Structure 1
Amino acid sequence: MKKISVTLFFLFLCIQLLGQATNEYKIHYFIKSSPLKNQQSSGTCWSFATTSFIETEAIRLRKEPISLSPIFYVHPTYIEKAKKYIDSEGKSRLDSGDLTFSVLKGYSKYGAIPEIVYNGIIEEDWQHDHVEMDNAIEAMIKSIATSGYGRIKPSSWKKALQGVLNAYLGKIPDTFIYEQKEYTPKSFAREFVSINTNDYIEITSYSHYPFYENFILNIPANWGENLYLNVPIKDFELLIDNALKKGYSLAWDGDASEPNFNFKSGVAKLTLKEELIAVTQEMRQKAFEDGTTNDDHNMHLLGKATDEAGKEFYIMKNSEGMNDKGGYVYMSKNALMLKTISVLVHKNALPKEISKKLKI
């Protein structure tokens, strides 16, 4: 019965996507994934996108489809982010934005919880709304960070922050029942997901650092000083296409604030002039250095398509609610190459020649 329901689920999903693409796009690759979730009034696209990525990796590993809780990873990330902010005396990032790294670290250290068990919405509320919580946390942690040398009480502020998170998001259970069996987050992750976080790499493409080496990318959300692998733009495009062709999805970090990015219609393009020329390494670098490319959103890259004119588009799973494309975003090739900060992907998805250069 389970196998039939899973097959029907994927059939429905494919029919839905193909229906959206009729007379608009021809889909060439589309990776099987889980249903869309809506982050609503929260700044947690990073966790929604990366959780979707993990769910999809579990499917690729022939696990039963499962809906994981993105908010499960918000708890430990806020604790670590607050600690870094206090230790740096306010010089680190404190807002709700973050990156794929925090979810992978959370998965590795704590495991995973199904969304049906813990969704991060308390009984009195009806949606993800973190505005009040974010404001309260920011005020509290900024005050603690400026308390002065010798006056900070680590055990106290951590308990206080945990109390705020529990009040707004609910307390994370130590154990829970799922399908009539008791699990901890760690045991659940082992049985229902089974990914190895060491198998995933974050890749970018900027010329201010040597190619085929690791470096700390200086972007606001990288408060944890995480390492990125740097490749030339041609390899960047090649590895994205190769991953999709081989059945691997990618978690995407980039800039979604372009004027021609219409999330209601589900189409993301550059200006007409920018769409007519191929994006170069120099164009990527300039956009990064002048701030016209920022890391302001995370999505989940699942597929590739062409429009009626044969123009290439990439299919993004978004967490910002429904739109004319069923919640998905079709991003042009030029937009992807210019506005992508980085992608997270399984190391086995890389072409052999790139793996050899990166010594993976």
Structure 2
Amino acid sequence: MRLFYFIIIFLLLSFQSFSQEKKEFKIIQLVKTSPLKDQQSSGTCWSFATTSFIETEAIRLGKETVSLSPIFYVTPAYMGKAEKFIEKKGKSWFDAGDLTFSVLNGYKQFGAVPEEVYNGIIEKAWQHDHVEMDNLLKAMVTSVGTSGYGYIKPYSWKKSVKAVLDAYIGAAPNAFSYKGKLYSPTSFAREFVGINPNDYVEITSYSHHNFYKKIVLDIPANWNSNKYLNVPIQDFEKIIDAALASNFSLAWDGDASEPNFNFEAGIATLTTDEEKQEITQKLRQITFENETTTDDHNMHIIGTAKDSKGNKYYVLKNSEGNNKQGGYMYMSKKALLLKTISVLVHKDAIPVDIRKKSNL
């Protein structure tokens, strides 16, 4: 009897997987964007998604398409996290992951570099592989931050951490030639890319904070206490849809560990029962507080689509390799509303009434 039930369950799961893989979509609207890139064996989805977003914003502004180096922002982010971790004596978050803020802050301070100039793959390596580097950095800063001696040698640990980063991903150039012109990273960002990092707003929707205010969202990766604009779920959805309708894309931060987030098939839905229920502010809050919604992945929202039954999906660029959708993900509307922690968007894409309420 147990074998019979096992066979039935196996067949049901196989049918569900098969039906997901065979699902077809009709594109409703797409924002013009840059080609996909693969993060490979690195925990840098945050930088791949945000640089894709910046590339797309540059295209929207009439600039030439360029593939930016996501790895360019890894060193400044790691140096910042290490400094905070050591300053807090090990009581700050330190990991390979991060948020869109670190890319925008890095862009503002250090500029940008084309991927063909600096890709972070050195010597005989053939792909991004940061596992050994991440483990080594964690051990180093843990040793320094929790040493207990009460005296830290900043010049020593900073040199050591930077040396490890340089050894594994190389040092970014201070000057380079691109399409026949000499640039520094800052002049390249200013002249070739052309976005203003101060024009972007990270938006979330949780009821334990005041709405229409900038708040510090208490998630582990927010090691630098960055601020989000907090809005009700109805406005959260309105901002996303209004942005896409006006040819603005959005960087996405959310939970991609759900059972029905099938990266091989390129389809992300909630469970069958969850897809039938209304996604409310209360439900978003419950899943945030019980940590069934966490920020474990970053992607880039570039459009909308419908399945064969007319259900709405959002189209996202993913940096985790190819799949049956060409590397893209189709996320159901309800999955997006429940499992999104936040989105990054240009302030001009936010509807006027929401901007007024938020004093933007």
Fold equivalence (TM over 0.5): yes
In structure 1, the residue matched to 2:142 is 142
CA distance in 2, matches of 1:333, 1:339: 10
Equivalent positions of 1:315-326 (< 5 A) are 315-326=315-326
Deviates more, 1:251-260 or 1:185-194: 185-194
Question: Do residues 246 (structure 1) and 239 (structure 2) align?
Answer: no
Moved more, 26-35 or 104-113: 26-35
Cα displacement (A) at 1:69: 0.1
1:67-103 Cα deviation digits (max 9, x unpaired): 0000000010000000000000001111101000000
* Distance in structure 1 (CA, Å) of the matches to 2:196 and 2:219: 26
Pair 1:23–1:223, CA change in 2 (3 A): closer
Q: Residue type of the partner of 1:346?
A: H
Deviation at 1:346, TM superposition (A): 0.2
CA distance in 1, matches of 2:110, 2:336: 33
1:196 aligns with 196
Q: Which residue of 2 aligns with 1:226?
A: 226
Residue matched to 1:154: 154
Quote the Cα distance in structure 1 between the aligned partners of 2:227 and 2:170. Answer: 32
Match of 1:47 in 2: 47
Instruction: Write out aligned runs for 1:285-300 (5 A).
Output: 285-300=285-300
The amino acid of 2:179's aligned partner reads E
Q: Return the alpha-carbon distance in structure 2 between the equivalents of residues 45 and 34 of structure 1.
A: 16
Shift of the 51–129 alpha-carbon distance from structure 1 to 2, 3 Å rule, reads same
Superposed displacement of residue 148, structure 1: 2.9
Aligned to 2:4: none
Q: Residue 136 of structure 2 aligns to which amino acid in structure 1?
A: A
Distance 1:23 1:256, change over 3 A: closer
Matches of 1:23 and 1:312, distance apart in 2: 13
Q: Deviations over 1:213-253 (max 9, x none)?
A: 11110001000000011000000001100000000000000
Helix, strand or coil: the match of 1:215? strand
Matched residue count: 340
Question: Which amino acid letter does the alignment assign opposite residue 294 of structure 1?
Answer: T
The aligned amino acid for 1:199 is D
Match of 2:309 in 1: 309
Write out per-residue CA displacement over residues 296-337 of structure 1, whole angstroms, 9 at most, x where no aligned residue: 000000001111111000001000000000000000000000
Q: What is the letter of the counterpart of residue 82 of structure 1?
A: A
Match runs of 1:74-223 below 5 Å: 74-223=74-223
Q: Give the letter aligned to residue 144 of structure 2.
A: I
- Between the aligned partners of 1:350 and 1:142, the Cα distance in structure 2 is 41
Q: In structure 2, what is the Cα distance between the partners aligned to 1:323 and 1:357?
A: 41
Name the amino acid aligned to 1:125.
A
Unpaired runs of 5+ residues, structure 2, are: 1-21
| Percent identity of paired positions between Structure 1 and Structure 2 | 65
Matched residue type, 2:120? G
Output the amino acid matched with 1:359: N
Whole-angstrom CA distance in 2 between matches of 1:327 and 1:23 = 15
CA distance in structure 1 between the partners assigned to 2:39 and 2:140 by the alignment: 24
Name the stretch that deviates more: 176-185 or 22-31. Answer: 22-31
The answer for the alignment partner of 1:5 in structure 2 is: none
1:95 counterpart SS class: coil
Q: Give the AA of the match of 2:32.
A: K
> What SS does the corresponding residue of 2:76 show, helix, strand or coil?
helix
Further displaced range: 141-150 or 240-249? 141-150
Q: Distance in 2 between matches of 1:176 and 1:187?
A: 11
Whole-angstrom CA distance in 2 between matches of 1:191 and 1:214: 31
Q: Residue 356 of structure 1: CA displacement?
A: 1.0
Q: 2 CA distance for matches of 1:62 and 1:157?
A: 43
**Alpha-carbon separation, structure 1, partners of 2:23 and 2:286:** 36
Q: How far apart in 1 are the matches of 2:83 and 2:259? A: 36
User: 2-side partners of 1:313 and 1:173: how far apart?
Assistant: 41
Structure 1: how far apart are the matches of 2:23 and 2:133?
Answer: 44
Equivalent position amino acid for 2:183 in 1:
Y
| SS of alignment partner, residue 143 of structure 1 | helix
Separation (CA, whole Å) in 2 of partners of 1:306 and 1:351: 24
3-state SS, counterpart of residue 147 of structure 2 = coil
Which letter maps to 1:221? Answer: A
1:273 alignment partner in structure 2: 273
Deviation at 1:149, TM superposition (A): 4.6
How far apart, CA to CA, are the structure 1 residues paired with 2:310 and 2:283? Answer: 24
Instruction: Give me the whole-angstrom Cα distance separating, in 2, the residues matched to 1:292 and 1:198.
Output: 32
Instruction: Return the alpha-carbon distance in structure 1 between the equivalents of residues 39 and 138 of structure 2.
Output: 20
Inter-partner Cα distance in structure 2 for 1:23 and 1:128: 31
